[in-house]
Amino acid sequence: MSFWKNKKVIVTGGAGFLGQSVVELLKKKGCSHIIVPRSKTCDLRKANAIKKLLKETQPDMILHLAAVVGGIGANRENPGKFFYENLIMGVQLMEQSRIFGVEKFVAIGTICAYPKFTPVPFKEEDLWIGYPEETNAPYGLAKKMLLVQSQAYRQQYGFNSIYLLPVNLYGPRDNFNPNSSHVIPALIKKCFDAKATGDKEIVVWGTGKATREFLYVDDAAEGIILAAEKYNKPEPVNLGAGFEVSIKDLVEMIVKFTGFKGKIVWDATKPDGQPRRCLETSRAKKEFGFVAKIKFEEGLKKTIAWYKSQNE
């Protein structure tokens, strides 16, 4: 509690899916000075807006969660936008934080930074052994530059910036917009929509063979806050739950939990994305004691219950 008591903390993306969980946890831990910049009044793509924000708030720490993100479809349609906006936000925010003397910068990267064919489970030292999966490479590389910048700034300026790599997140308050949502919320919405309209089938992208790992949003928030409190080294750190599930098994679980009784049709003309994803998570445990707590089935049921409660 005492760590956060008098700290002024900026949480970019603090009104978003992950950000809301992080802000709630900061409040529980006694942080009373939390600043959540909103894009309407503070455009983080513009250096002058960042300078104004830092001058007015004088933060001790920045948790940079803001990102322009989406699923495979959104990544394919917006490679330039996703690259530019994520890169420019991160680069300028870290540079101005250094100039303004911010004590610590917590950069949130992405699992999309890993090479397409990374040995499973993904180890942090394998980040540079190849090019990311093509559908989300521009986004992944833009976020990966935060790691390069973090390490370079630590080396040259002694700037305390750390870099975390959360795996795919899910949970209540996720983005359920079919144009930009990730796999779990997209599937939950598909099942409920089909039930509501009486459709006898749902169409799912890919072959179902790809695997993914998922981290419940409150677990991710816990990992970020623990790292903010305890971790001050240049090496990147994975945040994950340490398991993988095939998209086929995932779809079957969601169909079961939502009560959809129809048929699953696989559209193999659409991409699977990265073939496998599963993180090696021992560094987070060793360095700041983070271990994911929420079991996957439990988290899925909570997410489905939340979505149902919002749409009744």
Residues forming a β-bridge with 38: none
The beta strand positions in the chain, using DSSP E, are 8-12, 33-35, 61-64, 104-108, 161-166, 168-170, 201-205, 211-212, 214-216, 237-239, 245-246, 263-267
CA gap 14, 36 in Å, rounded: 5
Among candidate residues 84, 114, 131, 139, the one labeled active-site is 139
CA gap 234, 153 in Å, rounded: 10
Q: 240 near 279, Cβ under 8 Å?
A: yes
Q: At what angle do helices 183-197 and 247-258 cross, to 10 degrees?
A: 40
153 as an active site residue: the answer is no
Q: At what angle do helices 247-258 and 296-310 cross, to 10 degrees?
A: 50
CA triple 204-207-208, angle to 5 deg = 75
Helices assigned H by DSSP within 126-280: 137-157, 183-197, 217-230, 247-258
Positions marked catalytic: 139
